[in-house]
């Protein structure tokens, strides 16, 4: 029984177990068992239940323990835990911070009317207001050499200063493109659990334990407000480079109450992002993960998880079928080797483009693996044999038969018609970009021009197959099993196109694939399936045709 079980069935089974286990883990994160008896000895009651008068105070310091002094930058005297607000304050930067140093924020929630240093029942957290990152290279006009128009410079300076004439703008003269410099985090997001939740000592969650401060009030144990600093809201796009002239910089302080379940979920996600950074992920790589969670509904996050899980499953199944097919392939009947060659070229160009744009590793790594696979396909499609002869590498190409040449005729004809429009468009787009747009270097312009052409030529790689289907009035030659897995992933990519940061042209290419897939479905409905016809894999579904044979 087990010997007859297919590898695909095993993978699907493992996938189902993984999804169910993840659902159980997520349930354990968002659900916390409350204390059954409010008067029991095991219950920990909330301090906020007594409706105390609180104050929010935020200080800045060069050290997380406030050694060397601290400065008050904001206070909310009548602090209401359930009232959402957002404030913008200008923060003076010490000299050490301006000289590529750091700065910390000390957040206190304490009783109103006294300083946090005198309140034994205060809660506080420390957040870093600066981070180190390699500055982005400026984009210049390759013809005129200008990096920005005068209007763009004034706009950038005005945005950085935010109305403060003493604020600096732009990178300082001592900044180095390859050296990490201190950047200012323009947002500080705070949360406090607004639920009056009764904790049970025996079922106290470990993730909440490090944020929990308790004190004895008679026979009862009371926990102070659960204060949380949302690090996921700190995005790379909001960072401002600090230089020696940056005397003051704006800081947006946002506050909102949060449920206990959401707090626990946020703690786990924040720890996961921190772990990725410990494994070598850069600030920008981690920022792509943050973008999935910031300002997103928890239900939408759950949907995103299931979408990502199915994307992974279909990716693996399509990869498995694709590799198995090319590994066993002996003939190129029904397939164009020219299309395979150009698809390999396009995949490599797209990978170089994504690498030049510093795209997330979530997109870059699959693109790199895909490039390697396409190179291997070219070797199989062109029937290249590699061997050593006389101490030198030698390549040998096998010839195509008559059936393979007939298929390529249709493919060449379709590409000929399409090239009349696409070649001039791509050349014109490259010239337009050179004149009116700005790039980091000539290499960046070349890669951008090539990738724009490749995304346009993507139709050259897919539409000729539609043309061949039209000429043959049949779709029996298509590998529908592997094709269906890839088609499902195109629709899943549509979802990720709005979640993961990626170049606009790469995002539009996802929707382009949807249109072509719908046309394939229409052709499948329109043309009858002749299973006696040899498909593009060199396989006939009916090896022995029914009825009497006849000579042409």
Count the helices and strands in the chain (H runs, E runs): 13, 17
**Closest-CA residue to 411 (of 327, 313, 336):** 336
Cβ distance 239 to 131 under 8 Å? yes
Query: What pLDDT, on a 0 to 100 scale, did the predictor assign at position 1?
Result: 40
Rounded CA gap, 129 and 58, in Å? Answer: 12
Helix (H) or strand (E) run with residue 181 in it:
strand 181-185
* DSSP symbols for 382-440: TTEEEEEETTEEEEEEPPP-HHHHHHHHHHHHHHHHHHHHHHHHHHHHHHHHHHH--BS
Would you say 189 and 270 are in contact if contact means Cβ atoms under 8 Å apart? Answer: no
Q: Which residue reads 């079980």 in tokens?
A: 5
Per the CB < 8 A criterion, the answer to whether 456 and 426 are in contact is yes
CB 360 within 8 Å of CB 290 = no
List beta partners, residue 111.
Answer: 54
pLDDT value at residue 357: 72
Q: Is 340 exposed, middle or buried (0-12, 13-18, 19+ CB in 10 A)?
A: buried
Question: Does residue 112 contact residue 78 with C-beta atoms inside 8 Å?
Answer: yes
Residue-by-residue pLDDT tens, the chain, 552 positions: 444 557 778 888 888 898 888 888 888 888 888 888 777 778 899 999 888 999 999 999 999 888 878 999 999 988 999 999 999 999 999 999 999 889 999 999 999 989 898 899 999 999 999 988 877 766 666 676 666 444 444 444 444 444 443 444 444 434 445 688 899 999 999 999 988 899 988 888 888 988 999 998 888 889 999 999 998 888 888 889 898 888 899 999 999 999 998 899 889 888 888 887 777 666 777 777 777 776 566 677 777 777 777 777 877 777 777 777 777 777 666 566 666 777 788 888 888 888 877 666 667 787 888 888 888 888 877 777 777 776 677 776 666 666 667 767 777 777 777 777 777 877 887 888 888 777 777 888 888 888 777 776 665 566 666 776 777 676 766 666 666 766 676 677 666 666 655 666 656 666 666 777 788 778 778 876 555 555 444 454 444 444 444 444
Give the separation between CA 43 and CA 198, rounded to whole angstroms: 6
Contacts of 514 (CB under 8 A, 6+ apart): 490, 491, 494
128 bridge partner residues: 104
> Could you give the CA distance from residue 366 to residue 369 in angstroms, rounded to a whole number?
5
State residue 154's pLDDT score. 45
Strand ranges across the sheet with 187-193? 85-92, 248-258, 187-193, 227-229
- Which pLDDT score is estimated for 41? 77
Q: Are 225 and 153 in contact (CB under 8 A)?
A: no
The CA distance from 406 to 427, in Å, is 31
How is residue 289 written in tokens? 């993960």
> What is the pLDDT, as a whole number, of residue 280?
66
Cβ count near 51 (within 10 Å): 8
- The answer to whether 207 and 264 are in contact (CB under 8 A) is yes
Question: CA-CA distance, 13 to 16, in Å (whole number)?
Answer: 5
pLDDT at 124: 93
- Give the three-state DSSP class for 256: strand
- Residue spans per domain, the chain: 28-135+181-295, 304-530
Dihedral, CA of residue 97, residue 102, residue 107 and residue 108, to nearest 10: -80
The token pair at 224 is 């102070």
3-state secondary structure of 53: coil
């Amino acid at each position: 029984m087990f010997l007859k079980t297919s590898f695909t069935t095993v993978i699907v089974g493992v996938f189902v177990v993984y999804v169910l286990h993840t659902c159980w883990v997520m349930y354990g994160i968002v659900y916390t068992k409350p204390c059954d008896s409010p008067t029991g000895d095991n219950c920990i009651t909330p301090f906020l239940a007594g409706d105390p008068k609180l104050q929010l105070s935020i200080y800045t310091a060069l050290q997380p323990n406030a050694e060397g002094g601290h400065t008050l930058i904001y206070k909310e005297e009548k602090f209401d835990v359930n009232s959402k607000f957002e404030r913008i304050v200008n923060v003076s930067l010490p000299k050490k911070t301006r000289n590529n140093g750091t700065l910390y924020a000390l957040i206190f929630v304490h009783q109103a009317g006294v300083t946090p240093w005198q309140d034994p029942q205060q809660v506080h957290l420390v957040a870093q207001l600066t981070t180190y990152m390699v500055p982005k290279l400026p984009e210049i006009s390759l013809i005129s050499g200008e990096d920005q128009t005068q209007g763009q410079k004034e706009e950038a300076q005005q945005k950085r200063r935010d109305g403060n004439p003493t604020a600096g703008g732009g990178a300082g003269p001592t900044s180095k493109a390859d050296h990490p410099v201190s950047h200012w985090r323009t947002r500080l997001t705070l949360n406090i659990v607004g639920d009056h939740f009764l904790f049970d000592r025996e079922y106290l969650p470990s993730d909440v334990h490090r944020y929990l401060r308790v004190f004895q009030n008679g026979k009862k144990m009371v926990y102070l407000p659960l204060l949380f600093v949302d690090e996921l809201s700190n995005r790379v796009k909001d960072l401002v480079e600090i230089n020696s002239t940056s005397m003051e910089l704006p800081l947006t302080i946002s506050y909102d109450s949060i449920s206990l379940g959401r707090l626990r979920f946020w703690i786990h996600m924040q720890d996961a992002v921190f772990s990725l950074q410990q494994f070598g992920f850069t600030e920008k790589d981690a920022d792509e993960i943050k973008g999935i969670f910031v300002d997103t509904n928890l239900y939408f996050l759950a949907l995103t998880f299931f979408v990502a899980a199915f994307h992974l499953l279909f990716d693996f199944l399509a990869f498995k079928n694709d590799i198995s097919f090319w590994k066993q392939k002996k003939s190129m009947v029904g397939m164009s080797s020219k299309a395979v060659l150009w698809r390999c070229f396009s995949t490599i160009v797209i990978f170089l483009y994504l690498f030049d744009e510093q795209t997330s590793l979530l997109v870059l790594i699959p693109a790199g693996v895909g490039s390697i696979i396409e190179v291997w396909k070219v070797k199989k499609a062109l029937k290249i044999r590699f061997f050593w002869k006389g101490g030198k590498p030698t390549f040998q190409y096998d010839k195509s038969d008559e059936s393979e040449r007939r298929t390529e005729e249709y493919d060449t004809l379709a590409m000929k018609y399409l090239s009349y429009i696409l070649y001039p468009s791509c050349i014109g787009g490259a010239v337009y970009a050179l004149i009116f747009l700005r790039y980091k270097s000539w290499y960046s312009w070349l890669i951008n021009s090539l990738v724009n052409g490749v995304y346009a030529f993507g139709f050259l790689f897919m539409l000729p197959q539609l043309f061949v289907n039209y000429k043959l009035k049949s779709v029996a030659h298509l590998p529908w099993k592997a094709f269906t897995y890839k088609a499902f992933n195109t629709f899943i990519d549509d979802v990720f196109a709005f979640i993961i940061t990626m170049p606009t042209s790469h995002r539009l290419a996802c929707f382009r694939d949807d249109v072509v897939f719908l046309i394939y479905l229409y052709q499948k409905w329109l043309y009858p399936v002749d299973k006696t016809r040899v498909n593009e894999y060199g396989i006939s579904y009916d090896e022995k045709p029914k009825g009497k044979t006849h000579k042409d």
